[in-house]
């Protein structure tokens, strides 16, 4: 057992940078979630990242840069609209997948024993991430800093709790991340961008910024289909089948207790959860609601240690809900509830990314309640 105590401050940035340039693995905060960073050109270090996470070798890693021009060094003939994406959204929570520069080692961007034809690249906006990447002098390959099977970490403590066996060398502590959900991943290998993973940069924002049809995420991996393509366009072509992100085919995090996702009005959801609690017998019920719905339920439900409330945040602050979601799911696991009822959000803007993660956590248990 080698538990790591997260370290903060400017000295910690230098320490983390030295670890990465020296071939080690350091976790660091970004504006989305914590990442597990290694020198993207060091095969031993990158293998270590795959091994630490228990990540399948065919799932590539995002390469993090501190300078947008690195995108053009790492890629081959990216379309002109990729520059528009970079100008609009970098630094920020957007990963751009483009054809890889063929002069790079064949494996770079993926597992050292494989080959990667494309490169997923992102320039984060978190000041500690940028300082670390800059100081390391490396392109930093970094998946989310969680073990496969746990939610992405939004606190340094989450990272420390996942890696307790000496798999990683350092945790740079930047406190709670501002975002809470992983970056939007957009594929630019075709004539129009295709979103592979929804995030804080939405399909509408991309279409608006670059004036091109933008294909929404393929939600067929989810229990429900919801997202459609935008219609905003300056140029029309036949719709193309969106390529799959390798990461989408793997089982995603679901809490230990079965979670049911509830979609409907505050009153409808409160009434449903009340009935479930009353019928729960000796089960411990995890209740993950907005403040508004929780207030209604609490008026009608006697307080009991069997009913464990975690508040998502106020309904109108979708950003707060995104920030709180993963920490809440980790907390229910720690408390040890038997079932979880979670309130869904609006299904537009950032709500698309939140609902994508919530649907995966619910593994198909979704109930629509009357208004």
Q: How far is the CB of 329 from Mg ion (least distance, A)?
A: 14
Q: Output DSSP code: residue 100.
A: B
Number of residues that bind ligand TXA (CB under 6 A): 28
Which residue, chain included where needed, has tokens 């020296």?
22
Among 39-47, 141-149, 341-349, 355-363, the segment contacting ligand TXA (CB under 6 A): 141-149
Please state, in angstroms and rounded to a whole number, the distance separating the CA atoms of residues 92 and 124: 5
Helix, strand, coil proportions of the chain in percent (round to 5)? Answer: 35, 20, 50
Of all residues in the shown chain, the one whose CB is closest to Mg ion is 144
Query: What is the footprint of ligand TXA within residues 158-177 (CB under 6 A)?
Result: none
**CB of 213 closer than 8 Å to CB of 262:** no
Q: How far is the CB of 32 from ligand TXA (least distance, A)?
A: 3
Using CB under 6 A as the criterion, what x/- string covers residues 203-232 for binding ligand TXA? ------------------------------
- List the one residue from 20, 25, 94, 97 that touches ligand TXA (CB under 6 A): 97
151 sits near ligand TXA (criterion: CB under 6 A): no
**CB of 17 closer than 8 Å to CB of 7:** no
Here the tokens at position 93 are 């929570």
Here the tokens at position 268 are 């409808």
Please state, in angstroms and rounded to a whole number, the distance separating the CA atoms of residues 47 and 264: 45
119 sits near ligand TXA (criterion: CB under 6 A): yes
Query: What is the footprint of ligand TXA within residues 27-46 (CB under 6 A)?
Result: 30, 32-33, 35
Q: Are strands 259-263 and 366-368 parallel, antiparallel or unpaired?
A: parallel
- List the one residue from 183, 202, 290, 324 that touches ligand TXA (CB under 6 A): 183
246 binds, among Mg ion, ligand TXA, none (CB under 5 to 8 A by kind): ligand TXA
The partner residues of 39 in beta bridges, in order of sequence, read 140
Between 145 and 269, CB nearer to ligand TXA = 145
Between 187 and 294, CB nearer to ligand TXA = 187
Cis peptide before 271 (omega within 30 of 0): no
Among 70-78, 139-147, 230-238, 312-320, the segment contacting ligand TXA (CB under 6 A): 139-147
Gyration radius of the chain's alpha carbons: 21
Query: What is the footprint of ligand TXA within residues 246-265 (CB under 6 A)?
Result: 246-247
Here the tokens at position 307 are 């009913």
Here the tokens at position 360 are 């995966």
Which residue ranges make up the site for Mg ion (CB under 5 A)? 144
């Amino acid at each position: 057992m080698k538990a790591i105590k997260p370290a903060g401050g400017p000295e910690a940035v230098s320490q983390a940078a030295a670890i990465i340039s020296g071939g080690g693995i350091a976790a660091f905060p970004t504006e989305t979630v914590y990442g597990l960073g290694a020198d993207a050109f060091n095969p031993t270090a990158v293998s270590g990242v795959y091994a630490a996470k228990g990540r399948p070798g065919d799932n590539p890693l995002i390469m993090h840069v501190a300078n947008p021009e690195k995108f053009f060094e790492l890629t081959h003939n990216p379309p002109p609209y990729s520059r528009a994406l970079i100008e609009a959204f970098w630094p920020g929570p957007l990963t751009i997948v483009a054809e890889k520069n063929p002069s790079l080692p064949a494996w770079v961007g993926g597992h050292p024993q494989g080959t990667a034809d494309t490169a997923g690249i992102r320039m984060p906006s978190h000041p500690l991430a940028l300082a670390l990447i800059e100081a390391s002098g490396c392109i930093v390959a970094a998946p989310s800093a969680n073990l496969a099977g746990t939610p992405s970490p939004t606190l340094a403590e989450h990272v420390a709790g996942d890696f307790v066996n000496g798999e990683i060398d350092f945790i740079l502590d930047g406190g709670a991340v501002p975002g809470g959900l992983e970056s939007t991943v957009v594929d630019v290998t075709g004539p129009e961008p295709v979103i592979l993973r929804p995030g804080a940069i939405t399909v509408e924002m991309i279409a608006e910024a670059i004036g091109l049809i933008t294909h929404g995420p393929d939600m067929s991996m989810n229990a429900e289909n919801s997202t459609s393509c935008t219609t905003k366009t300056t140029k029309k072509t036949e719709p193309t089948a969106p390529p799959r992100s390798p990461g989408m085919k793997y089982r995603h995090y679901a809490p230990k207790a079965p979670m049911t996702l509830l979609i409907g009005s505050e009153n409808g959801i409160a009434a449903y959860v009340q009935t479930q609690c009353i019928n729960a017998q000796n089960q411990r019920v995890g209740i993950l609601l907005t403040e508004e719905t929780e207030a209604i339920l609490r008026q009608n439900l006697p307080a009991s240690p069997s009913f464990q409330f975690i508040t998502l945040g106020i309904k109108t602050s979708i950003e707060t809900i995104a920030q709180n979601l993963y920490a809440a799911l980790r907390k229910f696991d720690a408390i040890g509830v038997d079932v979880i009822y979670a309130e869904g959000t609006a299904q537009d803007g950032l709500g698309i990314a939140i609902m994508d993660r919530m649907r995966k956590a619910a593994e198909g248990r979704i109930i629509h309640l009357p208004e």
